[in-house]
Amino acid sequence: MSIVCSVFMSNIFTVAIATICIVSICLGAFGLLVLWGIDLDPISMATTIMSIGFSVDFPAHVTYHYYRCSKFDDGRMLSPEQRVHASLLAIGFPLLQCGMSTILFVLCLLFVDTYMSEVFVKSMFLVVSLGLIHGLFVVPSMLCALSNINLFFEALKKQIFSPSNHRPFSANAKRKNSINSYKLQRKSSSKLVISVVGPG
């Protein structure tokens, strides 16, 4: 899944976030299936593997749109908040439609009284629900927060290593520093003379 995402998104940052969310959805689905009373058997494994494929869609679409929405038409860079807003405007409602329609159609299998249909409905419900939560809430929050952190450290790095911070003193600055040090020496010496001789 990560390899497929990296083919379409050359940014390692967005691919890593999509991969983390896919792993999170899979772990959440497996854990909740155990709590829901589904044992690990060949039927549950087959249905889970089939339904896990849906977990790729939600984070991958959001991260892809975030990766593509980086600049305005005039070339100005978008802030992380603006990129998340543009991504959710483009893909948020279609993701919601996709998830709700998938859950509604899968729920029809509840009328079939078999163990396999029960496992498949539970697996699909959990994967799609967790995928929607990650795609609409977790992924945008992670993208916005980590992008702001990255921008902060880049600005700090530029400020520290900027040429202005390492520019040598000019002649006027050196002259002012020497005059100030001379005045301080005069003041300290006059105070010392007054303290030794005493007031007249």
Q: Which residues contact 158 (CB under 8 A, 6 or more apart)?
A: none
pLDDT of residue 137: 92
pLDDT of residue 133: 92
pLDDT of residue 130: 92
Kindly compute the dihedral angle of the four CA atoms of residues 30, 36, 38, 39, in this order, to the nearest 10 degrees: 80
pLDDT of residue 75: 64
pLDDT of residue 180: 54
pLDDT digits (tens, 9 = 90+) for 88-118: 898 889 999 988 998 898 888 888 888 888 8
Q: Which residues contact 33 (CB under 8 A, 6 or more apart)?
A: 44, 48, 122, 123, 126
pLDDT of residue 129: 92
Considering the entire predicted model, what is its pTM?
0.71
Instruction: Point out the residues of the chain with pLDDT beneath 70.
Output: 1-2, 5, 72-75, 162-200
pLDDT of residue 72: 66
Domain 2-160 bears CATH identifier 1.20.1640.10: yes
The domain spans of the chain are 2-160
Integer Cα distance of 48 and 187 in angstroms: 84
User: What are the two backbone dihedrals, phi and then psi, of residue 145, each rounded to the nearest 5 degrees?
Assistant: -65, -50
pLDDT of residue 150: 81
